[in-house]
Structure 1
Amino acid sequence: MAGIKEIRTKIKSVQNTRKITKAMEMVAASKMRKAQERMRAGRPYAVKVRNMAAHLMQANPEYSHPYLNEREELKAVGVVVVTTDKGLCGGLNTNIMRLLLGRYKEFQEKDVKMQFTALGNKGLGTLTRLGAKIVSQEVGLGDKPELDRLIGAIKVQMDDFEEGRVDAVYLATSRFVNTMRQEPVFFRLLPLPGKLQDPYSAFEHPLEGVDQGEETKASYSWDYIYEPDPKSVIDELLKRYVEGVVYQAVAENMASEQSARMVAMKAASDNAKKVIGELQLVYNKTRQAAITKEISEIVGGAAAV
């Protein structure tokens, strides 16, 4: 009977676990819809800001912003790492950190110094264990990205690039493709790519140039009236553009997190249901064997009498 009791206890434990994973799946599904709406709502803004900045630079070619200046040699780089604050979201964070560690080794082989900005607790923990140089961080981002909280962390990297302490700034995050697929990406944030192309359109190898593709000739020119002056407008717009790219990356990562968590919790719930079925079968067999044994003992005793 001890075996039957243990099996019954284990079935109850797995059932309780399945209730938790099922509840987490439903919560993640609800949050996923909101995160996807927020992510999709931010994409048109990023596209418009990118197009406007590109047009302004074409209209004012005599001014070159520091964010556009390519460095001859990479001696030091900054990396903004976007991960989640919580786990239980499948291999989302693992895939990002695996990609980042591969780039980390490549930079080390080229004797390129690295400094990191961690957005999210999971990435911060991995970088701390790695002994990496962390210059800024922001954790506890919640379910909705707030630009005010992100600006302080990424401004450290932007200032270091402007002042020449780093020669490039990269962004490691997860790109939302669909509910079942999220891609870890690593692309250059600064200096900005030529014509301000979509950073997600060409994932860059960190030690090689960006493939700009075929250049398209403009069929018309852009003419703007600047207030107060072209330099001030372009400077402010490019800063907003970089901040917008990081904000969108965080929004994409949050949508990826909820999607990955929903899928992971559904898989856990399905596996728990399968385990419960197998344990129930073992329980029934064990209970039947115990009953058969008792009947045999009774029959045997009666025959002996």
Structure 2
Amino acid sequence: METEKPAAPTEPILPLPDSADVDMDKVLLGRSLYFDTALSGDGTVSCATCHMLEHGGAEPRKTSIGIGGQIGPINSPTVLNSSYNFVQFWDGRAKDLQEQAAGPVENPSEMGAKWENVVKRLAKNEEYAAAFAKLYEDGITKDNATDAIAEYEKSLITPSRFDAYLKGDDTAITDAEKQGYATFKEVGCTACHSGINVGGAMFQKLGLVKDYFKDRGTEITEADLGRFNVTKNEAEKHFFKVPTLRNVELTSPYLHDGSRATLEETVKVMGTYQLGRELTAAQVNSIVTFLKTLTGTLPAHAKP
């Protein structure tokens, strides 16, 4: 009589689906809008300026550069797999991708436009007029434009080798990468970085066990206050949405302040300030080896 195999242990990380369930017509319209500088006040900035697909959906700068070369206050989070975040922005001020998409357009230091003017500009473009008329009864509006952008962003999911491993392909990652995953779990990273997006499911204090900002040694900015800026609750100072670790290999520099250039530095900082552990070089390197398995493949339609 065959003995039953023990049930596989439940993993703290869940695999991504192979593709997203989206309306492709809206996705393609949203893609055009995402890459279009007509959404900015002076026609120089698009969503893709700060959320670059070739940089893991983020940007290779400490903080964003907006209209007129203005330096923004915070590092752009990745747009990839962002539909799996429980809220949007570092401080969680937008409840979903559509609400998020509306914000930067009218932010004077980001895209510096007015939606009213953007709508008029888009209406002069025959291709946009036809595409919106086909998909939306009321044609070109702010709500419809942000709906299309959000649909495009929902489609940007990036299945990785690690997802294949979670789905049962034991050969998808190496022994060293499996050891890195074991280390990642062992030291406590999965307390915050878990679920389908390996993060993005809660707020957490930066400097949970040790004062990050005191040790950083530079003046505290408004952006450093995190969730407090939304709630005005003192207890939520320095709380941020836990970022996803998917494609993290590509999204340097790291943290909300863009203060860490390498994954190794960032993992060490997290050990010290979030876990209260001084991780060894071997532990850090092992975790980084695992994190690189989370680099995924963009869907074929992602780029225009």
Choose 1 or 2 for highest CA Rg: 1
Q: Determine which structure has the larger helix proportion and give its number.
A: 1
Q: TM-score, normalised by structure 2?
A: 0.25
Larger relative contact order (Cα-Cα within 8 Å, sequence gap ≥ 6): 1
Q: Determine which structure has the larger strand proportion and give its number.
A: 1
Q: TM-score, normalised by structure 1?
A: 0.25
